[in-house]
């Protein structure tokens, strides 16, 4: 079997480990394995390269994705999808394993509906894929975030300040919630639940009344504007506030041992599934 693997959407630590496992498991099962560069854009542009065992040597510990990734609006069009499928068929590639988030899973479903064997591996730091307990990259992201918050707390303590820390998560507060619990944040705002600014202020003032001179408030980017929250808190409590946006820092770095193992196990299972013909993709919208 000729098998292709790609990474799509936002990068997540552990994607390289997943690609590595696909290549190794595929070759072990006598497959020819190809890598698609820059996600679904690479299928449309026929940017497809053969991968050997040496291609994935020394990548398990690397963050990001050596295949690179991109978002591709053209793939969502009938013409773009048809071009992608035509390129795969011309190369006689029978199966595609997609590593990415919800949009990438929908892309895998489109290939499946177009007659290409497909499997999707959940790789996103947001941990927002239904029916998946933990996605590749989430553990690394929350470790990165909690370590950063620990450092922020050091300076917050020194200067008796309240820090508003914005974390990634347009629709999911998973990173903010997990990192906040790990770092002992005073309040955590997530997009899944409405927040009560009065309650946040009450907690800040309660802490001050018992001698706590610093606070950490975490805000998932989809919950509210960190700058607006900071302005409101300063106005209501008269506390010295600062905003820090962690941004893409959360996507980088060497994956944790947990993410490396999770990625390897998921990728191995994905290869087994496509070889067994169990390639039905369920997409959650």
Say yes or no: 263 and 130 in one domain.
yes
Please give the pLDDT value at position 280.
55
Q: Which domain holds residue 184?
A: 139-251
Model confidence over 103-123: pLDDT tens digits?
999 999 999 999 999 999 999
Say yes or no: 7 and 127 in one domain.
yes
Catalytic site includes residue 126: yes
Mean pLDDT of 259-278: 95
How sure is the predictor about 279, in pLDDT bands with cuts at 50, 70 and 90? Answer: low
pTM (predicted TM-score): 0.94
Is 281 among the domain residues?
A: no
The residues, ordered by sequence, that sit 6+ positions from 181 with a Cβ below 8 Å of its Cβ are 188
CATH label of the domain that carries residue 259: 3.40.50.450
Active-site entry in 102, 126, 128, 139? 126
What is the C-alpha to C-alpha distance for residues 14 and 183, in angstroms, rounded to an integer? 23
User: Would you state the structure tokens that stand for residue 134, as one six-digit string?
Assistant: 């933990």
Say yes or no: 144 and 218 in one domain.
yes
Is 115 among the domain residues?
A: yes
CATH label of the domain that carries residue 185: 3.40.50.460
Is 283 among the domain residues?
A: no
Please give the pLDDT value at position 43.
98
Say yes or no: 223 and 246 in one domain.
yes
Say yes or no: 207 and 245 in one domain.
yes
Q: Report the side by side order of strands in the sheet with 187-189.
A: 187-189, 215-220, 162-167, 241-245
Rounded to 5 degrees, φ, ψ at 58 are 65, 35
Rounded to 5 degrees, φ, ψ at 201 are -65, -40
Model confidence over 57-71: pLDDT tens digits?
999 999 999 999 998
DSSP string across 228-246: HHHHHHHHHH---EEEEE-
Question: How many independent structural domains does the chain possess?
Answer: 2
| For the chain, percent of residues with pLDDT exceeding 90 | 95
């Amino acid at each position: 079997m000729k098998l292709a693997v790609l990474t799509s959407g936002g990068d997540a630590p552990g994607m390289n480990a997943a690609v590595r496992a696909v290549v190794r498991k595929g070759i072990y099962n006598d497959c020819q394995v190809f890598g698609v560069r820059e996600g679904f854009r690479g299928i449309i542009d026929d940017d497809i390269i053969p991968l050997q065992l040496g291609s994935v040597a020394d990548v398990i510990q690397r963050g990001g994705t050596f295949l690179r990734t991109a978002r591709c609006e053209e793939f969502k069009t009938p013409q773009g999808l048809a071009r992608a499928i035509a390129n795969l068929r011309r190369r006689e590639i029978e199966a595609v394993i997609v590593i990415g988030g919800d949009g990438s899973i929908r892309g895998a479903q489109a290939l499946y509906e177009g007659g290409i064997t497909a499997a999707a591996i959940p790789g996103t730091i947001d941990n927002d894929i239904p029916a998946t307990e933990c996605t590749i990259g989430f553990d690394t992201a929350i470790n990165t975030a909690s370590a950063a918050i620990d450092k922020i707390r050091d300076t917050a303590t020194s200067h008796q300040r309240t820090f508003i820390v914005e974390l990634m998560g347009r629709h999911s507060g998973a990173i903010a919630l997990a990192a906040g619990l790990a770092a002992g944040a005073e309040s955590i705002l997530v997009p899944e639940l409405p927040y009560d600014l009065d309650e946040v202020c009450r907690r800040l003032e309660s802490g001050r009344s018992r001698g706590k001179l610093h606070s950490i408030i975490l805000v998932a980017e989809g919950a509210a504007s960190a700058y607006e929250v900071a302005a409101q808190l300063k106005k209501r409590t008269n506390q010295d506030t600062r905003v820090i946006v962690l941004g893409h820092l959360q996507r980088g770095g060497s994956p944790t041992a947990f993410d490396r193992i999770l990625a390897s196990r998921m990728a191995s299972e994905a290869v087994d599934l496509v070889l067994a013909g169990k390639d039905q993709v369920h997409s959650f919208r």
